[in-house]
Chains A and B, each alone.
Chain A
Amino acid sequence: MPAYIAKRLLALIPVLFGLSVIVFLMMALIPGDPASAILGSYATPENVARLNRDLGLDRSLPEQYLIWLGNLFEGDLGRSYSLNRPVLDEVLERFSATLILAGSALLLCSLLGLLAGVVSAVRQYGWADKLITLLVLVGISTPSFWLGLLLILLFAVNSQWFPASGMYAIYGGGDLADLLHHLFLPMLTLSVVATGVIARLTRTAMLEVLRQDYIRTARAKGLSERRVIYHHAFRVALVSVIPVIGIQAGFVMGGAVYIETVFQWPGIGSMLVQAISSRDLLLVQGGVLLVTVAYVLINLLADLAQSLIDPRLRR
């Protein structure tokens, strides 16, 4: 296993390299004078001069990349001109809020999705299966940003059970209970689609596994149906669902862009939208880089979890 982990970590290097190139090129490919484009409405002569110096914009592209990469390793992601502070500081501050929201949503959708998928498969064509299938269909067809608005209307405006926006109450609050109170609606909204996708794939995976010869063997051994389903079938199904959960992590982190905007959650998603609107491209670059690296790491974890369950993958 340690050798396998080392191998996976090594395999990460080209992916991270590719990512850094894309994120870097994102700036370089902007048409026109890059410094003024990056700076947008903040393109004062001083700022332009400073940026040209920082990024070496007068040099060749590979040189620029190396300078950029060097800065990156020193923790220098440039400076946000709209906020007038280092990108890294802003991004890290925002990232924790996104992590709380996306992490809890991912947890919720994994648990609910797996549960619904298994129940749906075990009770195939029963009322539970039909209900879950319908809910899944509705879930994956609902625009999450609209669902968020509806939930705000229902539970924050009309019944006032939950706050409509923010992460903590402005006066008082600040403790865990307050956070959870604020977290509930956005987390729920964010997890709906992913829950549907995971439930659907779990169902298919379970149904496929339940047809396999080794399930027949388990039954021929005289094992209880509960053991056949949860011990023998679910474990194999999990192997194919785990990468889907990994991919859903990406959808959840991306979807946070909408949900954070709708619920005014102070995370990296809402920051990105604002940054794009004000064309603060260095801030966009920093935010995207951080979220993407986090996503890559989550997928690495999913990979390792998968090989932990399935010995055939540890090669």
Chain B
Amino acid sequence: MSRTATANGLAHGRPGLWRLLLNNRLATLGLVLLLLILLLALAAPGLPLADPDLTAPVDRLLPPLSPGHPLGTDALGRDLLARLVWGTRVSLAVGISATLIAALVGSLVGLVAGYAGGRVDMLLMRAIDTVMAFPYILLALVIVAVLGPGLLNALYAIAIVNIPFFARNIRGITLGLSRREFVDAARLSGQSGRQILFGEILPNVLPVIIITISTTVGWMILETAGLSFLGLGAQPPQADLGSMLGEGRKLLFTTPHVSIIPGVMIFVLVMSVNLLGDGVRDLLDPRLKSGALTRPVARTAITHQVPAVTASAAAPRLDVRGLKTEFHMGRQIHRAVGGVDLRLDEGECLGLVGESGSGKSVTALSIMGLVPTPPGRIVAGSARLQGEELFLASDARIRQLRGAAVSHVFQDPLATLHPLYRVGEQLVEAIRAHQPLSRRQAEERAERLLKQVRIANPRRRMHAFPHQLSGGMRQRICIAMALANEVKVMIADEPTTALDVTVQAQILALLRQLRQARDAAILFISHDFSVVSALCERVAVMYAGKIVESGRTDAILSAPAHPYSQLLLQCVPVLGDPGRRLAAIPGQPPRLHALPTGCAFAPRCPRAEADCRHLSIALRPLAGGRWVRCLHPLLEEHGSA
């Protein structure tokens, strides 16, 4: 997947945040509840409530809905409603103050430790670790034990035990940020350490602080109530919700309402805080924004009516027609692939060339349904493997074909191998998913495969974990895995991009050798023309989701027909030809959610004319089995090249 396709998902502007928060129904509910409770607590002095501390032995333990006492009275005849409102006020004040103290001190410790690093970091974090080595509530108990029971001491205790949460969280983020390039850039702009910490890093840490606050406030209110419940917080006659509950507990069997009512209040209060907190977190967490927390299903959704197959005698290995794949992100639809035709014959290697966002990877992943859904979906087209329609096949059938008839090699071999299993196990798993072999037999086969991809000492390498191997070695393992079963079509998606030049040359040489030994067809995807030309006899150039030119590699290299192909070839320096002026392509690549009508390249094209901008342009044949999607190609149609 290209990075740019998801990067510009939601714009985060200040005014939008509130609206987004209110779009979340549960968060809105939490906000409304919390506001009501806050209002009630703030207005308590002005409300027509009874004196919460006024004892009236005659009216003791009245049930709810008694005249003059809507919620009844407690063991001393005090009005429960008044006590509830005043208690809520105290609980809120203590919970929120504790959170703010913990957030302030903890964040400061975290910021300083994360930014300073070295000895300062070690000392601060050792101290934090020691505090965290105590079971949470126990430490609060210890502090209260030392300071003595009382509301203020409970507040300190709760604040202190929560400092480590903030400190650790913020330190982690700060540490990550202070290694980022923009911090180095600020340093090179002459800014001092303090300016960088508070001017550059803090604004980026702030959302995390807010998330941590919003997800811990509820917890702190609970903990303060807990200490009061045990009689260690608010001391009579002062009451918070916890101490009301604690007093009511003794009367649980006879008059349960005295303890149930404050409990309900704590529950509602904490629930509203948590609802709101979750909403805030969802809003600020970049993982949620980028869709990194939605689960992709096993196979890409196919939303269109796929035409049934009419059997043909000489079906090619792979035949893709009119493939369209889209990403639905919020209200935007990114048309990543907009009608692609591909044909691969036995033993053939087709190169798919394009820049990021051109749709080349999405095309490749669509074939076996590996585009993540959500947000991806296939909305048109067909893909046939030796005549069999893949878009109509059952999930079970697709599973049978994946890794057997059609196998994949991906870009970054460290990310694509499972980090927790030995590479041998992963190979054996791939073999046994498709062949009824015993573990021993599969292991022998795995060893043979490793030899085929020229890994020395294969038996020992099988016991290695991916992180213990070099990049080239890991990619060899991935290739071995792709060859594990009777492969008909191998899809290689930028398999050498993450590798060093010398290793890239090795892998390309290996792929060439393997091609000669097997009849598998290869779909080879790359952004680099020269890499593709090293392996593929045919090449297709993609731009903005469409193939703009296809044909024999050498023919396109020597005389490109599409202006984009030509510029793509001329804009990179070529080794051994340093004097050449590079032909820069002006402008920016198009946005996939707002593609222009007509040719997508027209706004950047030196040959574009008026008709390019409104006509939809078809792929048209040229001589020598070449095709071009251009109204004004560099070669004449059907003419001599």
A residues with a Cβ closer than 8 A to B are 14-15, 18-19, 22-23, 26, 29-30, 121-122, 124, 137-138, 140-146, 149-150, 152-153, 157, 204, 206-208, 210-214, 216-225, 228, 232, 235-236, 239, 249-251, 253-255, 257-258, 261-262, 272-273, 275-277, 279, 281, 284, 288, 291-292, 295-296, 299, 309-312
Contact = CB atoms under 8 A, between A and B. Distances in A.
30 contacts: A18-B126, A29-B146, A124-B294, A137-B271, A141-B222, A143-B229, A143-B263, A146-B260, A149-B245, A149-B259, A150-B260, A207-B295, A213-B410, A213-B416, A222-B403, A222-B434, A232-B418, A236-B420, A254-B138, A254-B141, A258-B230, A272-B138, A272-B141, A273-B232, A276-B141, A291-B138, A296-B133, A299-B133, A310-B419, A311-B467
Interface of B: 126-127, 129-131, 133-138, 141-142, 144-146, 149, 218-219, 222, 225-226, 229-232, 242, 245, 249, 252-253, 256, 259-260, 263, 266-267, 270-271, 274-275, 278, 287, 292-296, 298, 368, 370, 372, 399-404, 407-408, 410, 412, 415-420, 429-430, 433-434, 465, 467, 478, 481
Contacts of B274: 137, 140-141
Helix, strand, loop or mixed for chain A's interface? helix
A208 B145 CA distance: 42
B433 A288 contact: no
Contact of B433 (A124, A223, A310): A223
A295 B465 CA distance: 32
Give the one of A223, A235, A273, A292 with max B CB within 10 A. A223
Contacts of A124: 294-295
Contacts of B133: 15, 18-19, 292, 295-296, 299
Contacts of A291: 135, 138
A15 B267 contact: no
A60 B134 CA distance: 26
A133 to B, nearest CB: 9
B403 A221 contact: yes
A212 B410 CA distance: 12
Contact of B229 (A208, A258, A277): A258
Nearest 4 A-B pairs (CB), nearest first?
A: A254-B137, A146-B263, A18-B130, A222-B403
B417 A295 contact: no
Given A141-B267, A273-B230, A311-B465, 16 more contacts: A15-B129, A15-B133, A140-B218, A141-B274, A144-B226, A146-B245, A149-B263, A208-B287, A213-B415, A214-B416, A217-B481, A220-B407, A221-B402, A223-B429, A255-B137, A312-B419
A141 B404 contact: no
A288 B415 contact: no
A221 B430 contact: yes
B138 A281 contact: no
Nearest to A236: B420
A295 B139 CA distance: 12
B402 to A, nearest CB: 4
B253 to A, nearest CB: 6
B417 A214 contact: yes
Helix, strand, loop or mixed for chain B's interface? helix
Nearest to A257: B137
Contacts of A223: 399, 403, 429, 433
A142 B264 CA distance: 9
A216 B137 contact: no
Contacts of A122: 295
B270 A311 contact: no
A222 B293 contact: no
A220 B141 CA distance: 54
A235 B429 CA distance: 16
B436 to A, nearest CB: 14
A214 B222 CA distance: 41
B137 A146 contact: no
A219 B297 CA distance: 10
A311 to B, nearest CB: 5
Nearest to A292: B134
Nearest to B467: A312
A276 to B, nearest CB: 5
A228 B399 CA distance: 12
A204 B293 contact: yes
Contacts of A295: 133-135
Nearest to A220: B408
Contact of B404 (A206, A222, A255): A222
A222 B407 CA distance: 9
A157 B266 CA distance: 23
A208 B544 CA distance: 29
A251 B142 contact: no
